[in-house]
Amino acid sequence: MSSSAGRALRQAPRAPALWAVTAFIIGRLITVAAGLVAWSGGASPPSSGHWATVDHGVLFGGTLGRLFDPWAAWDGMWFTAIARVGYRAPEAPAFFPLYPALVRVVAVLVRSYAAAGVIVSLVCAAAAMVVLYGMVAARYDARVAAWTVAFLSLCPVSFFFQAVYAESLFLLLVLGSLALAEHGRWTLACAVAGLAALTRNTGVLLCVPLFLAYAERRHWKLRGEHLEWPQDVRLAWLGLVPAGLIAYMGFLWWRVGDPLAFSTAQIAWARSFAWPFVTVWRGAEGASHALRVAVAQWPPSSSWIGPGGDGQWMFSMVLVPFVALVIAVIVLLLAWRLLPASYNAWALLVVLVPLFTPVRNIPLLSLPRFLLAGFPLFLGLALLTAQRPLLRWTLIVASCLLLAWLSASFALFSWVA
């Protein structure tokens, strides 16, 4: 690369905020375009059998169907069902209530649960990127903030930011809680974290990064520190964080007679406890098998590797999650000294917790989607590639291509993350 070209790449983007907005919009356009092409092209849209658990009143026909229906698949069916009729199915408690409650409210206005879910997800995703940009710009600079948003917005599984999933809402609440804590608005930060625990059970883990954020503001070294009265009594507000989970448990106790139904319902998805090293080893074995199959199929046919093909299913469920885990661990290790303790703690928890509850036979299933909440990983990428423009743009282009492939696959009701 010539020196002039290198300088051009290092200078881009000239307007960081504009680049952040552009990256977010590009990611959403790639997702929509891939879904439309998948439904309108040679591939066949999902048959009615795929939607067996969905009241067809939540779906559209024609052009609107191509725009909204693909993003209400899989877990989206559960969220729309809960938004419509509540927790009637025994598996439903696995899905926490705040997101479907918002979908229900918006559905009153737009008269469609699928459209309401997409709207809630998109609005929350956009708000999350605004908060993320502000947090990173304040701690580092605007250019790092722009690239952090770009890496997250163009992540290969970022299509979940407009699917009828709780990813966008959960990310927004995580970011909002930590941003408020960094600005000293402690009570509100803990309350927002409580809402995160009402969105996903891992929200209770925000107690850890919140405490570390508090310690950072107090300039604690976490060795030999003593609480001071009455200033540090504010730490009691951390009790608000598990309040969301406790409230949901109380509801489940009243509704189904089991306060732990959100956990026992995971049996339907074949999740059970395992030690992380066992999960990683089994994930590595699965990825190795997928690579051997790919070599045997070489050169792969478009029907095998294309959206909905056997190869796509195998790669999406086995190889992509393992690669995502490897990248996450590498970024976490290399960026550890570049990030504050609260960010490192949250990233570590986001990576580690899913390894304790693998899915039988597909241990790393859904891991890439769970990593979307690990915003410090994307910040780490932005920091680590700051002086490596070629690597940075290579990652962006590769992410966009994978995003298009996985978006088209998900739109055809193929399992992705």
Mean pLDDT, range 366-371, rounded to an integer: 96
Mean pLDDT of 322-330: 97
Share of the chain above pLDDT 90, in %: 70
Residue 109, domain member (yes or no): yes
Residue range(s) defining the domain that contains residue 77 = 15-411
- pLDDT recorded at residue 41: 63
- The pLDDT assigned to 4 comes to 43
In a domain, residue 272? The reply is yes
Interval 386-412 mean pLDDT: 95
Give how many domains the chain has, as a whole number.
1
Task: State pTM to two decimals.
Answer: 0.92
For residue 414, give the nearest of 47, 37, 41 by alpha carbon. Answer: 47
Residue 135 lies in a domain: yes
How far apart (Å, rounded) are the C-alpha atoms in residues 325 and 343? 18
- Look at residue 11 and tell me whether its pLDDT is greater than 90: no
Closest CA to 252 of 201, 215, 189: 201
Query: pLDDT digits over 72-87, tens only?
Result: 888 998 999 999 999 9
What digits encode the pLDDT tens for the residues 57-110?
566 666 677 778 888 888 998 999 999 999 998 899 999 999 999 999 999 999
In sequence order, what are the beta bridge partners of 271?
359
Question: Is 8 domain-assigned?
Answer: no
Q: What is the mean pLDDT of residues 356-384?
A: 96
Would you call 46 helix, strand, or coil by DSSP?
coil
* DSSP-assigned states of every residue in 21-79: HHHHHHHHHHHHHHHHHHHHSSSPPPPGGGGTTS-GGG---HHHHHHHGGGGSTHHHHH
pLDDT over 60 at 375, yes or no: yes
User: Within a domain: residue 112?
Assistant: yes
**Which has more pLDDT, 52 or 345?**
345
184 DSSP assignment: T
* Residue 416 domain-assigned (yes or no): no
Q: Residue 4 falls within a domain, yes or no?
A: no
Higher pLDDT, 316 or 381: 381
Give the pLDDT score at 66.
74
For residues 287 and 195, give the distance between their C-alpha atoms in angstroms, rounded to a whole number: 36
So what's the pLDDT on residue 46?
Answer: 52
Asked if the structure places residue 3 within a domain, the reply is: no
What mean pLDDT, rounded, does the chain reach? 89
Give the integer Cα–Cα distance in Å for 86 and 190. Answer: 27
Q: Residue 341: its pLDDT value, please? A: 96
